[in-house]
């Protein structure tokens, strides 16, 4: 048997991960240092990425080191940033002041459920920062200190912040249950922003950020590479459908700019979703364009700081303006839609050079995007299907028994719940929901959002993915579900691991992959395979019969 | 940095302060902030069944005991702890014999502290009340 | 440990007030200085805190959406759980403030052998919280009979509803016992549940013990160690009309009154400020009109980003070689 390492899922035995003790230890949490065991934390940012972004304190270091090589006056730096953020965000202030520790959030976090580490209870995750707030920024805290829940800002606190704020996927599930709407995502964002002041970040976020800054996308795909990729997809599409597509790239004067997370260019099964978009646009004859400059819908700046988020997001409107498009459609992605729905217009608007999105096929005006001028692909497609503009043959997906994973951000920062379900129900005959406490606004994270979707923290990903994974296994056992559909590129990357581990046999798919497989295109040849180039059930047999006759 | 909804928050605060200070402005507008009930004591009597302090605080219990004693046990005589005098346990024949005017005695205090005892749902108010 | 710390603090406060009631010279302190200080600390602190929140901007519109968004005409949207109108927000806030909507969603997780995760509805916290808050409100309104002259009709009406069962003389109020029961439950869950005990601070036990002590002394005064309430009302009215009388009222009353003063005094400097915070939480009080109406961030400073020109300068040759259109040949 091969030796497995902590960054491989095979390293972890299910029975061991399932031994979860939700009961906390005897000693109080205030003085327990974080346990940096392999598999639980993410590699720090390489100095070159921080340098290219002009961010402070680039250096080689490791969380496993005793000395993190912080600047001499690190306490002062944190204090200053803390104060600045308290002055900029009412959310931060209110979330620091109003928590009553009722505990409603405690067992709502996937990392706590899957791991039992008490500091993964949202309430304690926030207390890691709140205790410093009390001690340093409130009068009562300054007087009573420890007696009223204050803590001094020590090196162990910084280490603890780094550990636990990179064990939060900013999924906002706790915020749904909090009687005051306290959103741990907000607190995590503040904590990460403070940590960045000391040069403390993780490479899995900062390398994509640096890439995106230079090349326009997280993966660092250069313009000619993107063209190659899209053309390669078109070859596969032609193999499957017999239809040739020329992908429009950086086309001035197109009606629509299409932006999707770059994950869709690189890795299966996202690539199949990307093919799905292209087939859909080809079929309806949409006048659209890809952009190599704004080739990233996702935004790892969201996991870094408000300024970095704005910096990366700015390219989308800038490119829409340069190309002279009328409006923008965005692909299937989770955190991307958090940014597009809740931040883009405020940060980089007003988009007064664009038109209110109007479907050229159905004439539907998307009033809900009146200001931002950007619509979600499932809004666009649901409208097409409702108006009968697509010829669909759901039987093509009959071998698929599908369930739908609501991605955190579209669910809890947008409310995109029915659009994807309507589409799936239109293109599949076998759709089964997971249990109600695990879907819609109560959906569970994949365990790898907010920049945690790498391998070196595999233990935490498997633990965090357990609530989702067991819900998938539930429908797998009950309804024989074999595909998990989602509208998120990070999901399409991370849920593959989660399913392989917790519900082996279930594949992950994007909604538009399902659409494209069921779509009867004008002039297509008879389909014998799906977009994954897998033969359709019955097709091989039929081919054989055809040969005989 | 002023935020855009400061106005609405100030309005909310003002509403809260108006509500919170309700007792102050309500009593002030009624002109009775310094009102204190004055009771009409029976002329020519020097003592009640028990001490004045006891009666102020515990009269409801005493009356309750009397009622239970009379109705349930048939015992009608009460001996004062304060001065060992015997009394007939009767609201109408003992208490109201001296305190003839309910309005000027009972009601004044009861109204002041917002109490509405159920005595008179069964008992007949003394004529002095009219 | 934290519970003991909080309990100790309450006991000291009780002893302090008990002692104060016995010393003639201290009546001015407990009857005059303390209540005025408490009112000043309460109002001043509350206004200061709320204004400090108000002065802090809300840079982004970040509602936590708990239902279907408003998009296509034929998809019904969740009017309150994902509001897109001011009326919807008012509805959402009303549900939150009056009925504790979010707490009502509460579930409890159990992990069964074989790693099955079971989420079951858990309404006890919601029920106890609702029982406590409404009881407190009713009790607060009932107490207005000591602070108003004449006693307004609505105060009498609430009293008569609250004493509906007419048990005892004076009749017991349901809310007194509902309040103590709910507080007892809230305290017990903190002490019994390992997770809650772990997250609880002295800051959490202190208000619970304080409220339990206030409620208990109140019940004692009404039913066991009766107090001359005519005198007490005179004390209360004296404070409100700024002509305080130091008539006393016994040890029990002094303790009850002092603890209430402490409650008001610590209110704005403690977690009790959730009373105001619940109205101002940006994840709840904003409409999800994110893409329909631009939200303005007052500190939205410019951030340099890589322009298309810089990008093309970097990749022009490769773009041309690949046949991708460029601005400058």
**What local confidence, expressed as pLDDT, does residue B45 receive?**
84
Total count of domains within chain C: 2
B1: confidence class by pLDDT, cuts 50, 70, 90:
very low
DSSP state of B21: T
Taking CA atoms, C230 is separated from B111, C135, C239, in Å, by 10, 24, 15
Residue A349: name the closest of A339, A338, A335 by CA: A339
> C288 and C232 in one domain?
yes
Q: Looking at the complex, report in whole angstroms how far the Cα of residue A296 sits from the nearest Cα belonging to chain C.
A: 14
Strand partners, A431: A402
> C319 and C205 in one domain?
no
Domains of chain A: residue spans and CATH: 9-36+60-198 (1.10.1060), 208-518 (no CATH)
**What local confidence, expressed as pLDDT, does residue A483 receive?**
97
> C157 and C8 in one domain?
yes
Give me the mean pLDDT over the A298-305 stretch: 96
> C211 and C313 in one domain?
no
Kindly list the partner chains of chain B, i.e. chains with 3 or more CB atom pairs below 8 Å.
C
Please name the residue ranges forming H helices in A64-121.
74-88, 90-98, 110-115
> Which site among C199, C205, C211, C300 would you substitute to test the A interface, given the most A Cβ atoms closer than 10 Å to its Cβ?
C199
Least confident of B49-53, C10-14, C302-306: B49-53
Q: Evaluate if pTM is beyond 0.90.
A: yes
- Report yes or no: A188 and A168 within 8 Å, Cβ to Cβ: yes
> C157 and C195 in one domain?
yes
Looking at the predicted structure, is the pLDDT value of residue B128 above 80? no
**pLDDT per residue as tens digits for the range A380-426:** 999 999 999 999 999 999 999 999 999 999 999 999 999 999 999 99
Chain A residue at shortest CA distance from C130: A179
Long-range contacts of C300-303 (CB under 8 A, 24+ apart): C300/A346, C300/A347, C300/C59, C303/A307, C303/A310, C303/A311, C303/A314
More confident residue, A544 or A304: A304
Report the complex ipTM: 0.95
Give me the mean pLDDT over the C92-104 stretch: 97
Secondary structure (3-state) at A288: strand
> C90 and C24 in one domain?
yes
Closest to C150 (Cβ–Cβ): which among B4, B32, B34? B32
Q: What angle do CA A395, A398, A404 make, to 5 degrees?
A: 115
> C190 and C105 in one domain?
yes
**What local confidence, expressed as pLDDT, does residue C23 receive?**
83
DSSP state of B71: I
**pLDDT per residue as tens digits for the range A164-193:** 999 999 999 999 999 999 999 999 999 999
Cis peptide before A269 (omega within 30 of 0): yes
**What local confidence, expressed as pLDDT, does residue A333 receive?**
95
Contact A414 C315 (CB under 8 A): no
Domain assignments of chain B as residue spans, ordered by start: 49-89, 90-130
Strands C107-112, C116-121: parallel, antiparallel or unpaired by DSSP? antiparallel
Least confident of A146-150, A203-207, A378-382: A146-150
Looking at the predicted structure, is the pLDDT value of residue A540 above 70? no
Tokens 């365990």: give the residue. A447
Query: For residue C196, what are its two tokens?
Result: 């809650």
**What local confidence, expressed as pLDDT, does residue A546 receive?**
55
**What local confidence, expressed as pLDDT, does residue C20 receive?**
86
Q: Looking at the complex, report in whole angstroms how far the Cα of residue A121 sits from the nearest Cα belonging to chain C.
A: 9
What's the CA gap between C6 and C202, in Å, rounded? Answer: 5
**Strand segments (E) across A44-161:** none
**What local confidence, expressed as pLDDT, does residue A549 receive?**
42
CATH number for position C165: 1.20.950.20
Contact C228 B53 (CB under 8 A): yes
| Residue C195 with chain A: CB contacts under 8 Å | 22-24, 103, 106-107, 118, 121
Taking CA atoms, B109 is separated from B36, B38, B114, C46, C228, in Å, by 9, 8, 8, 36, 11
B130: confidence class by pLDDT, cuts 50, 70, 90:
very low
Residue A104: name the closest of A39, A180, A169 by CA: A180
Give me the mean pLDDT over the B47-67 stretch: 91
Chain C residue at shortest CA distance from B117: C170
**What local confidence, expressed as pLDDT, does residue A2 receive?**
66
Residue C142: name the closest of B114, B21, B57 by CA: B114
**pLDDT per residue as tens digits for the range A331-350:** 999 999 999 999 999 999 99
**What local confidence, expressed as pLDDT, does residue B129 receive?**
43
Q: In sequence order, which residues have a C-beta less than 8 Å from that of residue B18 and are 6 or more positions away?
A: B25
Question: Does C322 lie at the interface with A, CB-CB under 8 angstroms?
Answer: yes
**What local confidence, expressed as pLDDT, does residue B28 receive?**
86
Q: Looking at the complex, report in whole angstroms how far the Cα of residue A307 sits from the nearest Cα belonging to chain C.
A: 6
> C319 and C200 in one domain?
no
Strand partners, A330: A259, A376
Sheet order of strands, A256-259 included: A288-289, A256-259, A327-330, A374-376
**pLDDT per residue as tens digits for the range A262-275:** 999 988 999 999 99
Q: Which domain holds residue C326?
A: 305-329
Mean pLDDT of chain A: 95
**What local confidence, expressed as pLDDT, does residue B122 receive?**
82
Give me the mean pLDDT over the B36-47 stretch: 87
Mean pLDDT of chain C: 94
Name the B residues in 61-100 with CB < 8 Å from any C CB. 61, 63-64
Looking at the predicted structure, is the pLDDT value of residue A547 above 70? no
More confident residue, A546 or C31: C31
**pLDDT per residue as tens digits for the range C245-300:** 776 678 899 999 999 999 999 999 999 999 999 999 999 999 999 999 999 999 99
Burial A497-535 (b: 16+ CB within 10 A, else e): bbbbbbbeebbbbbbbbbbbbbbebeebeebebbbbeee
Residue B94: name the closest of B108, B74, B80 by CA: B80
Interface A-C: count of C-beta contacts within 8 A: 311
**What local confidence, expressed as pLDDT, does residue A543 receive?**
55
What's the CA gap between A460 and A455, in Å, rounded? Answer: 10
Least confident of A491-505, C10-24, C86-100, C125-139: C10-24
DSSP state of A221: -
Least confident of A77-81, A181-185, A486-490, B25-29: B25-29
**What local confidence, expressed as pLDDT, does residue A538 receive?**
76
Contact B1 C43 (CB under 8 A): no
Looking at the predicted structure, is the pLDDT value of residue B127 above 80? no
Looking at the predicted structure, is the pLDDT value of residue B46 above 90? no
Taking CA atoms, A330 is separated from A260, A292, A379, A416, C55, in Å, by 6, 15, 10, 13, 35
Looking at the predicted structure, is the pLDDT value of residue B36 above 80? yes
Cα Rg for chain A, rounded, in angstroms? Answer: 24
> Which site among A55, A102, A304 would you substitute to test the C interface, given the most C Cβ atoms closer than 10 Å to its Cβ?
A102
């Amino acid at each position: 048997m091969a030796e497995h390492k902590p960054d491989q899922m095979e390293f972890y035995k299910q029975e061991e991960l399932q031994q979860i003790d939700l009961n906390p230890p005897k000693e109080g949490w205030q003085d327990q240092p974080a346990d940096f065991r392999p598999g639980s934390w993410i590699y720090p940012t390489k100095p070159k990425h921080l340098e290219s972004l002009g961010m402070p304190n680039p250096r080689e270091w490791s969380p496993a080191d005793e000395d993190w090589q912080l600047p001499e006056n690190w306490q002062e730096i944190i204090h200053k940033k803390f104060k600045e953020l308290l002055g900029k965000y009412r959310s931060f202030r209110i979330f620091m002041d109003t928590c009553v520790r009722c505990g409603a959030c405690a067992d709502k976090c996937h990392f706590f459920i899957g791991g039992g580490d008490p500091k993964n209870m949202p309430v304690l995750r926030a207390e890691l920062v709140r205790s410093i707030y009390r001690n340093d920024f409130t009068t009562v805290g300054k007087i009573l200190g420890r007696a009223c829940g204050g803590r001094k800002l020590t090196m162990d606190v910084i280490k603890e912040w780094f550990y636990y704020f990179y064990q939060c996927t900013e999924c906002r599930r706790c915020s749904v249950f909090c009687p005051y709407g306290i959103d741990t995502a907000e607190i995590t964002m503040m904590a990460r922003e403070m940590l960045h002041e000391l040069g403390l970040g993780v490479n899995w976020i900062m390398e994509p950020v640096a890439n995106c800054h230079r090349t326009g996308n997280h993966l660092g795909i250069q313009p000619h590479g993107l063209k190659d990729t899209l053309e390669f997809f078109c070859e596969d599409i032609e193999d499957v459908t017999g239809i040739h597509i020329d992908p429009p790239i950086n086309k001035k004067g197109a009606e629509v700019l299409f932006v999707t997370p770059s994950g869709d260019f690189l890795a299966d099964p996202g690539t199949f979703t990307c093919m799905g978009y292209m087939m859909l646009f080809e079929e309806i004859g949409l006048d659209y364009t890809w952009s190599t400059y704004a080739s990233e819908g996702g935004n790892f700046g969201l996991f870094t700081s408000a300024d970095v988020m704005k910096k990366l997001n700015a390219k989308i409107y800038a490119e829409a303006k340069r190309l002279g498009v009328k409006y923008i459609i965005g692909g299937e992605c989770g955190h991307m839609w958090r940014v597009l729905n809740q931040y883009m217009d405020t940060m980089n608007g007003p988009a007064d050079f664009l038109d209110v999105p109007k479907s050229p096929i159905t004439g539907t005006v998307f009033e809900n995007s009146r200001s931002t001028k950007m619509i979600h692909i499932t809004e666009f497609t649901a409208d097409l299907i409702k108006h009968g503009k697509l010829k669909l043959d759901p039987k093509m997906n009959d071998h698929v028994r599908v369930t739908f994973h609501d991605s955190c951000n579209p669910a809890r920062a947008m409310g995109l719940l029915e659009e994807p379900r309507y589409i799936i129900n239109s293109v599949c005959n076998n759709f089964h929901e997971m249990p109600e406490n695990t879907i819609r606004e109560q959906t569970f994270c994949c365990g790898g959002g907010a920049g945690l979707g790498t391998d070196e923290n595999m233990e935490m990903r498997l633990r965090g993915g357990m609530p989702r994974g067991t819900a998938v296994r539930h429908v797998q056992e009950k309804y024989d579900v074999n595909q998990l559909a989602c509208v998120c590129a990070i999901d399409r990357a991370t849920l593959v691991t989660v399913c392989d581990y917790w519900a082996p046999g279930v594949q992950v798919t994007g909604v538009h992959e399902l659409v494209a497989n069921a779509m009867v295109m004008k002039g297509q040849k008879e389909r014998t395979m799906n977009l994954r180039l897998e033969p359709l059930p019955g097709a091989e047999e039929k081919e054989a019969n055809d040969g005989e006759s | 940095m002023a935020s855009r909804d400061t106005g609405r928050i100030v309005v909310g605060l003002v509403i809260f302060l108006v509500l919170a200070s309700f007792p102050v402005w309500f009593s002030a507008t009624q002109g009775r902030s310094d009102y204190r009930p004055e009771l009409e004591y029976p002329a020519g009597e020097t003592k009640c069944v028990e001490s004045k302090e006891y009666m102020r605080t515990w009269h409801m219990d005493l009356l309750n005991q009397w009622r239970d004693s009379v109705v349930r046990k048939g015992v009608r005589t009460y001996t004062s702890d304060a001065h060992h005098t015997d009394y007939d346990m009767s609201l109408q024949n003992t208490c109201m014999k001296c305190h003839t005017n309910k309005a000027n005695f009972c009601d004044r205090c009861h109204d002041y502290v917002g109490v509405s005892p159920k005595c008179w749902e069964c008992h007949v108010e003394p004529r002095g009340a009219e | 440990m934290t519970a003991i710390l909080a309990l100790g603090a309450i006991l000291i406060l009780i002893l302090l007030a008990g002692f104060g009631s016995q010393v003639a010279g201290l009546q001015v302190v407990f009857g005059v200085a303390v209540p005025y200080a408490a009112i000043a600390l309460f109002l001043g602190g509350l206004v200061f805190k709320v204004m400090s929140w108000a002065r802090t901007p809300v840079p982004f519109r970040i509602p936590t959406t708990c239902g279907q968004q408003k998009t296509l005409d034929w998809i019904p949207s969740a009017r309150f759980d994902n509001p897109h109108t001011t009326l919807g927000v008012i509805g959402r806030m009303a549900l939150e403030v009056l009925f504790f909507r979010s707490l009502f969603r509460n579930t409890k997780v159990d992990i069964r052998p074989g790693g099955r995760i079971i989420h079951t509805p858990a309404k006890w916290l919601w029920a106890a919280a609702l029982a406590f808050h409404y009881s407190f409100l009713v009790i607060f309104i009932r107490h207005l009979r000591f602070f108003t002259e004449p006693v307004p009709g609505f105060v009498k009406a609430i009293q008569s509803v609250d004493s509906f069962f007419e048990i005892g003389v004076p009749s017991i109020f349901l809310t007194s016992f509902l309040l103590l029961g709910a507080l007892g439950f809230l305290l017990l869950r903190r002490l019994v549940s390992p997770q809650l005990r772990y997250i609880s601070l002295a800051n959490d036990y202190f208000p619970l013990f304080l409220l339990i002590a206030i409620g208990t002394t109140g019940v004692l005064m009404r039913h066991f160690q009766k107090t001359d309430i005519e005198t007490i009302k005179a004390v209360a009215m004296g404070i409100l009309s700024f002509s305080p009388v130091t008539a006393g009222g016994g040890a029990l009353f002094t303790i009850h009154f002092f603890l209430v003063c402490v409650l008001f005094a610590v209110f704005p400097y403690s977690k009790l400020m959730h009373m105001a915070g619940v109205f101002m939480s940006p994840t709840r009080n904003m409409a999800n009109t994110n893409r329909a109406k631009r939200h303005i961030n007052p500190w939205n400073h410019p951030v340099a980003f890589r322009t298309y020109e810089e990008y093309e300068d970097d990749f022009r040759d490769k773009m041309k070689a690949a046949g991708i259109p460029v601005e400058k040949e």
